Chain A
Amino acid sequence: MQFVAGCAFAQVLQAHAADAEITPWPQRLPAPALDADDLSGHRWQLDALRGRAVVVNFWASWCEPCRAEMPALQQAAEFYGAERLAVLAVNFKESAATATRFARQTGLALPVLLDREGEAAKRWGVRVFPTTVLVHADGKPRWRVRGPLDWTSLEAGRLVEGLFLARS
C-alpha cells in the first residue's frame, strides 16, 4: 500500500480520527533520546532499533483513553511482528509496582519502559496522554498522535506501514 505523505494526508487523518490529533513531526527536529529498561530489565535504546519502525507510546494507568487503546496497540505489534515493528509503552511517572500490576491485570505484553521522573516525556514534548510518536525505520520520527487512536484501523495501518523500509 502506497503511503501518501504530506499535509493533505495529515488533514485527512485529522478529519477521520476524531479522538486523536495527528500532526507531522517537525522535520528539523531529530528524535529525542530514549534509553530505558523495561519491567523485565531489558534495555531499550532507540538508536539500536534502526532498521525497524518504532511506535513510542506514552501512557499512565490513571489515563482512561490510554487504557482504552492499549489492546489495539498490542494487536498492531503482534500483526506486524517484532522484526518490522517495535512498540514501546513508556509509562509516565508511576512506580514499577503500579505499571507491573496494570500489565498483569490487562495481559499487556508490550515492553513497558518506566519514565519515573517524567524526563522522557519532557524530551519528547509530551503533556497529553496518550501521545504516540511514530518513528521511521531510518530513525527519524514522522508523526505525533495526541489522544487515543484505533491502532487496528485503516488510517493507523497507513501510518504504521509508512514507517517501514521500502522493500527492494
Chain B
Amino acid sequence: MHTRRSFIGGSAAAALSLPLAGFAQSTARTFDPQPGAWRTFEVTTRVDVAEAGGATRVWLPVPSLDNEWQRSLESSFTCNGHAQMASDSREGTRMVFAQFDAGVPKPFVEVTSRVQTRSRRVDGSAPSAHEDAASLKYWTRATALLPTDGIVHRTALDATRGAQGDEERVRRLYDWVVANTYREPKVRGCGEGDIKTMLETGNLGGKCADLNALFVGMCRSLGIPARDVYGLRLAPSAFGYRELGGNPANLKGAQHCRSEVFLPQRGWVAMDPADVAKVMRMETPEWIKTIGHPLVAPVNRGLFGGWEGNWVAWNMAHDIALPQSKGPRLGFFMYPVAENDGGRFDSYAPDDFRYAISAREITA
C-alpha cells in the first residue's frame, strides 16, 4: 500500500521539495526534478474480458527500456488462458500476450512488472553523446500518426523562423505547443490521433490531441531526431502538482506520453510540453493563459530538459504489429489491447473488457 511516509522515504530528499499542508494554496512553487536515488515500483494490470465472444487475444505493454533514468526489471503474469512474454520484432517492444480459447468463462490476465525509475535533468556539462547516424535517421522518420510533410512541416517552419541551431528550434517548438493548445478549435471534431488532422482542425486539447506527438512530429519534420515515450504515471508529483501525478491505487486513466529530442551536444533530452499545457488548463479551476504565472513558470522551465521519476516508460514504438493479431498495426502501444474474431475491442472505453492498473512503491 502506497503511503505518504514511504513515498517521502523513497525520494532523494535533497533533490525534492516536499509538499506541505496548505502548500497548494501558495503561489510560490518549485519544479526542479534532479537525478537522485532510484525508486522501485511494482505495477499491476488486470484485464477481465466481459463478453469473450469466441477465441480472444489480449496484449499488455510491459516496461521495455533500460537507460540512465529507467531500469526495466522482471514481469510476471497469471491468467486462465495461455500467456507468454512476447515482443515486436522491430524495436524490441516487450509485452505479455494472452490467448483464450472460445468457451473459457470470464477470461482474465494479470501482469505485474517491476521497474526502477529516477528523475532526470539535462546537464549542461555533459560530454557530447554519440548515436550512430542510422539510429538518428530512424528517429526522424514519418509514421502513420506522425506525418512530417504538409501542414506539419509548414507549422514547424513557421514556429521556428529565424531560429539558429537545433536547440533554439526545439525551444521554439516546445513554446509553440505550450502556447497553442486548448485554444478554441476551428472545428470541434476529432481525428484518429494523427497530428495532421489535429493541426487542420485546430483541435489541440483534451482527448482529441496528443500534444507530445505533435511536438515530436514537428521536430522530425525539421530533421531533428525526436521520439515519443509511451508510459504510465505511477505516483503523485513531489512538487505538489496534481496534474503531474497519478493515484497509485487507480492508474487506469494515468497513461501519459512524454518525449525526447536528440541534441548533438547533450544527447537525448527529456521534453514534456504537453504537461505544461495540462497544468495551465487543469491545475486550477481558472485556465491560466500565461507561462509567466508563478504556478506555470517552474513547470515550463523544468519540463524542458527534465522530468520526474514518478512515471514508467513502456516503449517508444510506432506502427506496432502485435504478434498473432488479425487486426491492423497500432499507432502506439500504451493501453491494453484485446480482440476476438469480431475485431478489436475499444481500449479507450472498455465495455468489452475491463482493466484495472495499480502501483506500489517498494522501499528498502
Q: Is A43 an interface residue (CB 8 A)?
A: no
Residue of B nearest to A58 (CB): B189
With most chain A CB atoms within 10 A of its CB, the pick from B51, B194, B201 is: B201
- Is the CB–CB distance between B351 and A101 below 8 Å? yes
A20 to chain B, nearest CB (A): 7
* A19 and B187 in contact, given A97-B53, A98-B352 (Cβ under 8 angstroms): yes
Q: Tell whether, in the assembled complex, residue B343 and residue A65 are in contact, meaning their CB atoms are under 8 Å apart.
A: no
Residue of B nearest to A94 (CB): B346
Q: Which residues of B contact A94 (CB under 8 A)?
A: 343, 346
The answer to the question of B133 belonging to the interface, with a C-beta cut-off of 8 Å to chain A, is: no
> 1/0 contact trace for B199-215 toward A, CB 8 Å?
01100000100000000
Of the listed stretches A1-9, A82-90, A125-133, name the one at the interface; the rest are far from the partner chain.
A125-133
Shortest A102–chain B CB gap in Å is 9
With A97-B342, A128-B201 in contact, do A63 and B190 touch (Cβ < 8 Å)? yes
Do A129 and B191 touch (CB < 8 A)? yes
Q: For the complex, give the distance between the alpha carbons of A121 and B51 in Å.
A: 28
Given the contacts A63-B189, A101-B351, A129-B189, A147 and B201 also touching, CB distance less than 8 Å: yes
What chain B residues lie within 8 Å of A62 (beta carbons)? Answer: 190, 207, 346, 348-349
B30 touches A (CB below 8 Å):
no
Q: Is the CB of B188 within 8 A of A20?
A: yes
What per-residue 1/0 map shows which CB atoms of A118-144 lie under 8 Å from chain B?
000000000111110000000000000
Cβ of B183 to closest chain A Cβ, rounded Å: 13
Report if B176 contacts A (CB, 8 A): no
Q: Is A95 an interface residue (CB 8 A)?
A: yes
The answer, yes or no, to whether B345 is at the interface (CB within 8 Å) is yes
Residues of B contacting A63 in the complex (Cβ-Cβ under 8 angstroms): 189-190
**How many B residues, CB 8 Å from partner?**
25
**Cβ of B137 under 8 Å from chain A:** no
For B351, the chain A residues whose CB sits under 8 A away are: 98, 101
> CA separation between A131 and B190, bound complex, in Å?
10
Whether B348 pairs with A127 at a CB distance below 8 angstroms is no
Q: Is the CB of A128 within 8 A of B187?
A: yes
CB atoms of A96 and B342 under 8 A apart: yes
Across the interface, A61 reaches (CB within 8 A) one of B201, B207, B344, B349, namely B349
The listed residue (B188, B196, B200) touching A65 by CB distance below 8 A is B188
Q: Contact at A95–B197, with CB atoms within 8 Å?
A: no
Q: With an 8 A cutoff between CB atoms, is B68 at the interface?
A: no
Query: Any chain A CB within 8 A of the CB of B286?
Result: no
Report B330 CB to chain A, min CB distance, Å: 13
- Of B187, B348, B352, the residue contacting A147 (CB under 8 A) is B187
**B residues within 8 A CB of A146?**
187, 189, 201
Q: How far is the CA of A61 from the CA of B344 in the complex (A)?
A: 13
A147–B188 touching, CB < 8 Å: yes
Minimum C-beta distance from B318 to chain A (A): 18
B residues apposed to A, CB below 8 Å? 51, 53, 186-192, 194, 196-197, 200-201, 207, 328, 342-346, 348-349, 351-352
Q: Can you list 9 residue pairs at the A/B interface with Cβ under 8 Å?
A: A19-B187, A62-B207, A64-B190, A65-B188, A65-B189, A95-B345, A97-B53, A97-B343, A128-B191
